[in-house]
Amino acid sequence: MFETGSPLAVAVLGVSTIETAQAFYGDVIGLDATPVAVWRGGAFERHFQLPPGSSARAVMFANSGAPGDGPRVGRVLALEFDASDRRQVPQPGDRTYRGLWNLNFYVDDIRATTRELKAKGFNFWSEPVGYEVSAKVGAPVEVLFDGPDGLAINLVELTGDETSTIGQLRLEVAKIGKTKAGFSQVSTTSHSVIDRDKALAFYTEVLGMQVRIDDILNKPETNHFLNRPRNAQTRATFMAGAHQFGKVALSHPLNYVVPDKVPLAVPPNIGYLAQSFRVPSLASAAAACARVGAHVFSGAEDLDVPGLGPVRAMIVRNPGSGALMYVFESR
């Protein structure tokens, strides 16, 4: 178990409909859902920079059966904003793009899971691919497919024994368990950046996360399942907080260009809008944000967030990409 830092508490998604989100995150992934709530009010409007009278239907998805702090890590908050001008961030055919672009879930048998999901009509980018990151790190098996509203969903099967980083992780994940449908909660989430060092400063200095893997992904098999150019080189930096789930994977393209979706990934649009992290002190986190150049999107507010309860929260832009980072302190 990692000892310090704030893991991803919640992936905040703008969704086309709550029912679509429930069908996937609840029925397919097997996460437990809170009752549908309507979120509105002045603090809500200021928080998301929305006009007066705005509201959103909201559901929080979590693995309530996970031990310890598990239910508070790797959750999904689905928000169906009541707005007529919503735009969808991921478009058909999109793969990696600048900003927040996928959610990862661990499964025990990736090939069987892929067959089951294909039978349900999901579009996969490739067949599952096994590859060695390095001799020390080990070899996972991965596949991606188009999830609801075009969001990329990454399935990962952990392989190997305890002599590798991934093998050690496999043993730890087995102790935590999975949902009733055989998926973990959000294990990792990817963030494509334009400045790796500035992005890293946010996660390490504001959130206290630690780098666990830092490598160049350039193998043809890796680029194949990610649908990147065959010779693409991507610096991948994996960070973790005080849990095996809720990790963040920074991807920095070194010799290719990806579309920039950050300006579009804001409320009330449809897509992956923000990564959310619980911190011990919002005041301390705000000071650290200022030091690393994470500009404020919306200042500190007292809110009653569906699925979180009373919190004091603010939203800033990650200095390495501009993507929204939602930082909160429980009240």
Query: What is the full DSSP assignment across 186-237?
Result: --EEEEE-S-HHHHHHIIIIIT--EEEEEEEE--HHHHHHTT--TT--EEEE
Name the stretches of the chain with pLDDT < 70: 1-3
Calpha distance 274→323 (Å, rounded): 7
Calpha distance 320→198 (Å, rounded): 5
Identify the residue whose tokens are 């920039």.
260
Helices and strands (H, E) in the chain, number of each type: 7, 17
- pLDDT value, residue 163: 86
| Sign of the dihedral defined by the CA atoms of residues 85, 56, 329, 62, in that order | negative
**Cβ-based neighbour number of residue 310 at 10 Å:** 10
Range(s) for CATH 3.10.180.10 in the chain? 10-86+265-330, 99-253
- pLDDT value, residue 138: 83
Contact 128, 69 (CB under 8 A): no
Cα separation values, 171 from 6, 47, 161, 168, Å? 22, 40, 8, 5
Q: For the chain, what is the largest distance between any 2 Cα atoms, rounded to a whole number of angstroms? A: 56
**3-state SS assignment for residue 15:** coil
Residue (of 138, 132, 127) closest to 162 by Cα position: 138
Given the DSSP bridges, would you call strands 10-14 and 75-81 parallel, antiparallel or unpaired?
Answer: parallel
**Cβ-based neighbour number of residue 205 at 10 Å:** 15
The percent helix, strand, coil of the chain (3-state, each to 5) is 25, 35, 40
Dig out the tokens for 112 from the structure: 């069987």
Dig out the tokens for 97 from the structure: 């793009």
Regarding the domain with residue range 10-86+265-330, which homologous superfamily does it belong to in the CATH classification? 2,3-Dihydroxybiphenyl 1,2-Dioxygenase, domain 1 (3.10.180.10)
What is the pTM assigned to this prediction? 0.96
Identify the residue whose tokens are 């979706």.
261
Contact 218, 232 (CB under 8 A): yes
Domain 99-253 fold: 2,3-Dihydroxybiphenyl 1,2-Dioxygenase; domain 1 (3.10.180)
With residue 52 as reference, give the H or E element that holds it.
none
